[in-house]
Structure 1
Amino acid sequence: MAKKICPDDRWSWVEVDLSALRRNTTAFKRSLARGVRMMCVVKAGAYGHGAVRCVNAMHTAGADQFAVATVEEGLELRRAGVQWPILILSQPPIESVQTLVENDIMPCVYEPDFALALGEAAAAAGRVAKYHLIVDTGMTRIGVMPADAVELRRTIDFHRGIECAGTLTHFATADVPDDWDFALQLNRFRNTVSALRDAGLNPGLVHCDNTPGTVLHPECQFDMCRVGIGLYGLQPAETTVGVIDLEPVMSVRGRVTRVVYPEVGAGVGYGMTYRVPKRNVQIATVPIGYADGLSRTLSNNMDVIVNGQRQRQVGNICMDQFMFAVDVNTTRTYCPTPEVREGDVVTVIGADGDERITADEMARLRGTINYEVVCGFGMRLPKVYV
C-alpha cells in the first residue's frame, strides 16, 4: 500500500490518517461537559498535517470553531470554503483589519488602538467585527493585564463596529499537577471574567483550557475548550498519558533511491562522520533531509524501519537526503536481515510490522517536544491522506 500512495514526483511524503484524526477529535468532544464547545487549533498547517483537510475531518467529528496563528492561515481556510468561526490566537498587525473584516476572521484583542481600527474598518463596510479579549494572567506573553481588562472594554465598547465574542487566557503550566502558578492564573482569570460581568460587560464565550487543561482540568472548561496537539494523536505531556487514549495521525515515509555495497572504510556523507566498518554492509539513500524537518542533530543517532526491522541512520543528514546502513545477514534463522532494494519503503515516523518510531522518540533524541517534530515535517513534504 505504501508504494501505491507514494507521490509521483517525490519519493518521500507525510501520511495523514484522517480516520485517526476523527477518532481523536471525538474522544476530546466526549470528554467535555454538556454544552461546552470545542475549538480545534489548526495553526502551523494543523501542526504539519494540512489545515484544510484536517478542519473538514474535525468538523464532522464535533469541532465547533477553529483557531490559527496568523492572518494568512485564516485566509487559507476561508479560500478553501471553510465557513465556521476562525480565531487568530494573537493580535495581528493593525494593517490587517480590512482583511479581517472582509473575511470574517476574529482576532484576539488587547490594545485599544487595534480594536478601534478594527471597528472603523467594520463600520465602513456595514459590518460588525467580532473579537476575543485575551488576558495575560501570568504567562507574560500577550494580553491585557487583568487589572486593565474592564477599562479596555469600556474604552472600546462604544464602537458599533465591534463585538466581544469571547474572553480567554492561556495557561503556562496546565500539565503540572497541583501547580501553584496554574492555580494563580486560573484565579486571576476567574476574577477578571467576574469583574467584566459586574461592570455589565458581556465576556462572550469564556475559554482557557488548552490540550493539557482539557485533559487534566475539567473544572475550568467554562464555555469552550481549545484543543491542539492531542487531536493529532500526540500527548501534550507525560502527565496526560493514560488519561486519554489517542492515535498518532502522522507517519513520515520515503523510498530508497540508491543502494550500494561500499568498500570497507568508505566514508558516508558530508564530513564522512561514518565509515563502513566491514563487508556486506549496504548504504541506502532516502530523499528526506533537514529541509524537510529531519533535524541534522539526529545524524548518526536515529533509527528508521525497513521491511519491519530497525536500521541505523548513518552519516550527516543532508538538506534533502539521508543515508542508513544495513548489515546484511540472510543466514541467521532467528532474525535474518535481507538486502534493501531500490524502491523499498522506509519509515521515519510511524509503524511497519511490529516496529514503531514515534514523534516522542524523535523529540527525546532532539531534546525538544513532539510539537516541533511534526510541525517540521509538514513544511515541505507532500501530504497523502489515508
Structure 2
Amino acid sequence: MDYTDFTGPRWVEIDTDAIAHNVRRVKNALQAGTRLMAVVKADAYGCGAPEVARAALAAGADMLGVTTLEEGLELRAGGVTAPVLMFAPLLSQEAGQAVRHRLTPSVSHPGVLPALAAAARERGEVVDIHLKVETGMGRTGLAPEDIVPVALSLRGYPELRLEGVYTHFATAVYADSFVRTQFDRLQAALEDLKEAGIAVPVRHACNSAATFGFPEMQLDMVRVGTLLYGQYPGGGNKGWGLDLKDPWRVKARILHLREAPAGTSVGYGRDHILKKSTRVAVIPLGYADGLTVSPLVRPKNTVDLFKILVKTVAAFWGYGRAEVTVAGRVTPVIGRVGMQLSMVDVSHVPGVKLGDEVEAGLRRLNTNPRLPRVYLRSGQPYLVRTIQGEMSLAEEGVDH
C-alpha cells in the first residue's frame, strides 16, 4: 500500500522539518526575552493548521494565533493544548465556546465582556483576554482613549484577567513611516494604562514584516505567520539572514496522454490551436484547485498599475502562461485552464508516461482545501490529512 492510495492523483506535500527550521530561525533571531506567537490562521496559510501547530510548538513557538473561533476549535479538536489567541472579535453567543475550549479572546468592544465573564463564572475559571487597540488599520480594536476605561472595567469582572494589549500594523510590508505612527499610538495607550496602575504582562505589535523590519518594536511577543511558511512579506529575500526553507509542494499525476496532430484545438473556446504534432498530457488540476488563480490587488501607485498592464498584455500574446514541472522540466499548460482538468505540452519530456508525477506552483491560500495534505518528516511521509480527517501512515501500514 502507498500513501497515494489515500490521496488519489493530486496532493500537497508539507515538509514539517522546514516549518520547524523556520520557527527556530525566527525565534533565535528575536531580541532576548521576546516570545514567538506562531500564526496558523487560514488553515496555517493552506498548510493545515493542526499539524503545523504541533510542529511549530515542538520547535519552540510559545503561543498560537488564529483569526476565528472555528479555527481555534479545530486546533483543540486536533489535540493542541497550547495557548491560542483569536484575533477577530467574538460575538456574545460565541463566548461560551471560547471559554469552554480555553481559547484567548481579543476584545475590540466592551459589549462582549459580560458574556465572557458569565461563561467563565459558570465554569469556575479565570479567562485571559487581550485588548486590541485600533491605531490605524481601520478594522477592529478599541480607540486609544477607550483602553483605560475598558481595562478599569475589568475590575468588575474577577473572572477575566488582562493578559495582553496589542495592535496590528497596516503598512509594515512597505516599511513606511505610518508604522512608527501606529507604534507611537500603541505606546501612548500603554503609558496611559501604566499611569492608571494597570499591569500589562504581554505587549505585542509586530507581524512578520515588522518583526525584522522594525526590530525595536518587538516588545514582549511577535506574531509571525508568513516567515514560518518560508516566504518573506512582500516577496524577495529581505536580507534578514533567516535562511528560510519552503515546506510546500503541490503534486499530481498524469491521467491521460495523447499524440495530437497539428491543427487540433485544445480546451474550451478553441483558444489554442496546435501548430505542430504535440504530446498532450492531462493533469487533475484546474482553476478550482488554484491553478492560475491570483488574488485581486488594487494598484498602490502608477508603477504597480504599469506592472499589471504589462502582465495583462503579455498574457494576451501568450506569454506568462501557467507552467508545471514534469521530470524536472518546465512544461507549459496549453489551452484554457479547466475547472479540475488541464492540458500540458510534454512533447519535450522524454519517456513521459501515465502516472508520472507533476509539480505545480499553486498559491497556498488559493489552493483547494480539499486537496489532501501529506506531511513529511526526514523526507518521508508520516501523516495524511483528507476531508475525512487525519491518518497516521505508520498506523495504516503504508509503505513510503
Question: TM-score interval w.r.t. the shorter chain?
Answer: 0.7 to 0.9
Match of 2:51 in 1: 53
Match of 2:77 in 1: 79
Unaligned runs of 5+ in 2: 295-314, 377-400
What is the SS of the residue equivalent to 1:35? coil
Match of 2:214 in 1: 217
- Cα distance, 1:296 vs structure 2: 5.1
Match of 2:389 in 1: none
Match of 2:279 in 1: 282
2:7–2:372 contact (8 Å) kept in structure 1:
no
Which has the larger displacement, 101-110 or 115-124?
Answer: 115-124
Q: TM-score, normalised by structure 1?
A: 0.87
- Cα distance, 1:26 vs structure 2: 0.3
The 5 A counterparts of 1:39-118 are: 39-118=37-116
Match of 1:319 in 2: 339
- Cα distance, 1:340 vs structure 2: 2.5
Asked if 1:305 is matched to 2:295, the reply is no
Match of 1:376 in 2: 366
What is the SS of the residue equivalent to 1:157? helix
1:116–1:156 contact (8 Å) kept in structure 2:
no
2:39–2:64 contact (8 Å) kept in structure 1:
yes
Match of 1:332 in 2: none
1:296–1:317 contact (8 Å) kept in structure 2:
no
Match of 1:365 in 2: none
What is the SS of the residue equivalent to 1:252? strand
- Cα distance, 1:201 vs structure 2: 1.4
1:176–1:239 contact (8 Å) kept in structure 2:
no
2:22–2:230 contact (8 Å) kept in structure 1:
yes
Matched AA of 1:194: E
Report the Cα distance in structure 1 between the residues aligned to 2:369 and 2:28, rounded to whole angstroms.
Answer: 31
Report the Cα distance in structure 2 between the residues aligned to 1:184 and 1:314, rounded to whole angstroms.
Answer: 49
Report the Cα distance in structure 1 between the residues aligned to 2:368 and 2:130, rounded to whole angstroms.
Answer: 29
Aligned to 1:261, which of 259, 262, 278?
A: 259
Report the Cα distance in structure 2 between the residues aligned to 1:309 and 1:42, rounded to whole angstroms.
Answer: 33
- Cα distance, 1:238 vs structure 2: 4.2
Report the Cα distance in structure 1 between the residues aligned to 2:226 and 2:120, rounded to whole angstroms.
Answer: 33
Matched AA of 1:375: L
Match of 1:191 in 2: 188
What is the SS of the residue equivalent to 2:346? strand
What is the SS of the residue equivalent to 1:261? strand
Match of 2:26 in 1: 28
- Cα distance, 1:101 vs structure 2: 0.8
Report the Cα distance in structure 1 between the residues aligned to 2:227 and 2:47, rounded to whole angstroms.
Answer: 13
Distance 1:95 1:188, change over 3 A: same
Unaligned runs of 5+ in 1: 329-336, 350-358, 360-372
- Cα distance, 1:175 vs structure 2: 2.4
Matched AA of 1:64: D
- Cα distance, 1:203 vs structure 2: 2.1
Report the Cα distance in structure 1 between the residues aligned to 2:185 and 2:373, rounded to whole angstroms.
Answer: 42
- Cα distance, 1:157 vs structure 2: 3.3
Asked if 1:232 is matched to 2:229, the reply is yes
What is the SS of the residue equivalent to 2:243? coil
Aligned to 2:10, which of 9, 12, 15?
A: 12
Q: TM-score, normalised by structure 2?
A: 0.84
- Cα distance, 1:241 vs structure 2: 2.3
Distance 1:242 1:67, change over 3 A: same
Report the Cα distance in structure 2 between the residues aligned to 1:160 and 1:385, rounded to whole angstroms.
Answer: 43
Report the Cα distance in structure 2 between the residues aligned to 1:378 and 1:40, rounded to whole angstroms.
Answer: 23
- Cα distance, 1:155 vs structure 2: 2.8
Report the Cα distance in structure 2 between the residues aligned to 1:254 and 1:239, rounded to whole angstroms.
Answer: 27
Aligned residues between the structures: 352
Distance 1:117 1:195, change over 3 A: same
Matched AA of 1:342: L
What is the SS of the residue equivalent to 2:200? coil
Matched AA of 2:371: L
- Cα distance, 1:292 vs structure 2: 1.6
Report the Cα distance in structure 1 between the residues aligned to 2:62 and 2:230, rounded to whole angstroms.
Answer: 19
Identity %, equivalent residues = 35
Match of 1:201 in 2: 198
Give the RMSD, CA atoms, in angstroms. Answer: 1.9
Matched AA of 1:382: P
- Cα distance, 1:202 vs structure 2: 1.9
Matched AA of 1:319: M
Superimposed CA distance per residue, residues 53-76 of structure 1 (whole angstroms, 9 cap, x where no aligned partner): 111111111101001111111111
Superimposed CA distance per residue, residues 250-299 of structure 1 (whole angstroms, 9 cap, x where no aligned partner): 011111000111222212122122121111x1111111122222245799
Report the Cα distance in structure 2 between the residues aligned to 1:84 and 1:9, rounded to whole angstroms.
Answer: 30
- Cα distance, 1:9 vs structure 2: 4.5
2:280–2:347 contact (8 Å) kept in structure 1:
no
Match of 1:348 in 2: 360
